[in-house]
Structure 1
Amino acid sequence: MNLLRSVLHTLFMAVTVVPWAIAVLVTAPFLNSMQIYWLCAGWLKLAVSSGKLMLGIRNEVIGFENLPVGSTAPAILLLKHQSTWETFCMPTLMPHPLAYVFKKELLYVPFFGWAMGRMDMIHIDRSKRAQAFSKVVEQGQRLLNQGTWVIMFPEGTRIPRGQKGTYKSGGTRLACETGAPVIPIAVTSAKCWPRKAFIKKPGTVEFSIGKPIPSQGREPDELMREVEAWIEAEMRRLDPEAYPAA
């Protein structure tokens, strides 16, 4: 049954993303950046809703009260990354538009990447590290000033359930440069949608939002250690079965 559910959901996303992306490409010249964002977020809502209906995956969000309040209140969201599910869900869950920091190679993915390229996000060339970070700071500051929150995965890639990757300080470097607070977020998506797995399982994915961590006067590495400690401790609280006893 889970195999059939997974096949149907994959086909549904593949079939719907093509006309949606074409609509974005055709209308983008006539829309502003926010209109393009919410048009693209509409497909993500469809993907998440169909995931609930077809796959039986439901979301539970803890800590909404920890999010900054105000239309232009800045925030840099740093998430645990276990699967594609959270990349789909976050724009549908957050009260602000989000800007992902991602590698430019994703722009070449047919239809999905082409539509993503019309959005006001931060795509970087990883081979040019110094230039890439300067671009992140410049564009990140502009986006934060207009009320868009920047979202990054500090481990850089999807991490298998129960494991911990290497936390990189790019997100906290951006926070220290811009003065924006950091919001750590733990996500248990691998319980239902494991890394690189085609077959998904029904269940509940928890999104736990931590309290804002001020960045002013902090060092990026020290700040990232605090983010890492909170996320990993929260992961063990939310999904104790995935972690061996100490």
Structure 2
Amino acid sequence: MRPLRSMIVFLWMAVTVIPMASLIVLTTPFIDPDRRWWYLARPWLRGAVAAARLIGRVEYEVEGEHHLPERGDNNSRIILCPKHQSTWETFFFASRMPHPLAYVFKRELLFIPFFGWAMACLNMIHIDRSARGGAWNKVASMGEQLMDRGKWVIMFPEGTRSERGRQGIYKTGAARLAMATGASIVPIAVASARCWPRKSFTFVPGTIQVSLGAPIVPDPAGSPGEMMEKVEAWIEEEMRRIDPEAYPEEERPINLAQQEAAIQASLERRADAARGSHGAAANPKE
């Protein structure tokens, strides 16, 4: 049943993306990008997430949304930095966030029929990853312009999807943009690979945990590397909390307080056992 349910979801996406993308492209000369986002792109993305939930049985739970500015707040500059494990989160955050988002993504996605064409018309930041200097200049200039218009930028700090239980290399691009624009970074842990594994077209019924952390404000005296270390530390520790079975026991962070409590409890049990044996020796049965 899993392959059949998954096939139905992907078939729905493939069929419905055609009219959605066509409308976005055709209305580009007449309707501003934000309206096209709210009234065309976002409803389709919400439908895709709903189809995965209702047909593919992929539920989700979100915590930490109180860390986000309210919808009417257009002055807060925000960069979302989620863990990237599957395609699910690219749909989910666009459908869930209270502000229009500007994704930073590889330009190859623009060549996907209909879906990529629609993305090209929504004022997002597509980059050529082979031209690193030029890519960063584009992210910096467009990122600031889009944030000035009230958009939030979303960047996957690992750059690409990572396997469940694995940690990719965190790039400093988001931190560099934050320090250049004064934006805050919201770190996000997403355990999506448990239900939509990387490079898979079959959903695994279950619940995806999503956890948003408190915004990390750039320190003028710090460096992008130091800021990204904070983002990475929070995300990876939170991943081990929301998806503990994905990480081998030896890789989990050691909680010194719990370790000391366990040692103390063990010592107390041994002491109780010793007292019991001494008492039995002093009062032998007749």
Range into which the TM-score falls when normalised by the shorter chain: over 0.9
* Aligned residues of 1:82 and 1:194 also touching (Cα < 8 A): yes
Query: Aligned-pair distance for 1:72?
Result: 2.5
Q: Tell me if 1:148 matches 2:142.
A: no
Q: Percent identity?
A: 54
Aligned to 2:168: 165
Q: Tell me if 1:92 matches 2:95.
A: yes
Structure 2 residue corresponding to 1:227, chosen from 224, 231, 240? 231
Query: Aligned-pair distance for 1:68?
Result: 2.6
Question: TM (normalized to structure 2)?
Answer: 0.84
Aligned residue type for 1:205:
I
- Secondary structure of the residue aligned to 1:231 is helix
Aligned to 2:52: 51
Query: Aligned-pair distance for 1:219?
Result: 0.7
Distance 2:248 2:188 in 1: 22
* Aligned residues of 1:140 and 1:174 also touching (Cα < 8 A): yes
* Aligned residues of 1:55 and 1:202 also touching (Cα < 8 A): yes
Larger RCO, structures 1/2 (Cα 8 Å, 6+ apart):
1
* Runs of 4+ with deviation above 6 angstroms: none
Query: Aligned-pair distance for 1:150?
Result: 0.3
Larger radius of gyration: 2
Provide structure 1 residue ranges, at least 5 long, that are not aligned to the other structure.
none
Structure 1 residue corresponding to 2:244, chosen from 218, 240, 246? 240
Distance 1:111 1:103 in 2: 16
Aligned to 1:41: 42
Aligned residue type for 1:202:
P
Q: Deviation per CA, 1:185-230, whole angstroms, max 9, x where unpaired?
A: 0001011000001111111111100001111413100111111010
* Aligned residues of 1:72 and 1:146 also touching (Cα < 8 A): no
Aligned to 2:274: none
Distance 2:189 2:55 in 1: 25
Query: Aligned-pair distance for 1:42?
Result: 1.6
Aligned to 2:267: none
Q: Tell me if 1:78 matches 2:81.
A: yes
Distance 1:11 1:33 in 2: 27
Aligned to 1:104: 107
Question: TM (normalized to structure 1)?
Answer: 0.97
Distance 1:21 1:123 in 2: 17
Distance 1:67 1:78 in 2: 13
Distance 1:232 1:2 in 2: 30
Distance 2:99 2:210 in 1: 16
CA RMSD of aligned residues (A): 1.0
Query: Aligned-pair distance for 1:2?
Result: 0.7
Distance 1:40 1:201 in 2: 26
Aligned to 1:24: 24
Aligned residue type for 2:52:
G
Aligned to 1:12: 12
Provide structure 2 residue ranges, at least 5 long, that are not aligned to the other structure.
251-286
Query: Aligned-pair distance for 1:157?
Result: 0.7
* Aligned residues of 1:72 and 1:148 also touching (Cα < 8 A): no
Aligned to 2:261: none
Q: Tell me if 1:116 matches 2:119.
A: yes
